[in-house]
Amino acid sequence: MYESTKKRRVAEDVAKVFPEEVTNQIFDVITVMQKSKQLVTAPVAIAFSDDYTDDEMYAMIIQGNLAPAQEFPLTYKGDKPFLGHGYILVVKDKPKTIRIDFSAANPFKADKTNIA
């Protein structure tokens, strides 16, 4: 599950909203958690806090009720217009890829970015 040898993919809609620097760090957190055997299910959800500093923001990995949610920091110095919208990302474990996509709970449409 979530082997680091798999290719990393980001859904096109996610890439329009989240900078590559942020999604790369999410993949890195998944890799670290996989190596330390902290991942117990796939897929996992990533939720974002509205609190942030100029160079850091916070996210939480959620594994349903199978494991406690774990908060982690993400280093990012750019503008953060993607925060404050309640976006939830899902990290899916596919046979040959690990893919980040929007949760079905998000009202996100490909023709909108939902960013004010």
Helix (H, G, I), strand (E, B) or coil at 42: coil
Task: Give the pLDDT confidence of 75-95 residue by residue, as tens digits.
Answer: 999 999 999 989 999 999 999
Q: pTM for the complete prediction?
A: 0.88
Give 82's DSSP letter: T
| Beta partners for residue 73, in sequence order | 58
The amino acid sitting at 22 is: V
Contact 77, 30 (CB under 8 A): no
Given this model, what pLDDT does residue 10 score? 98
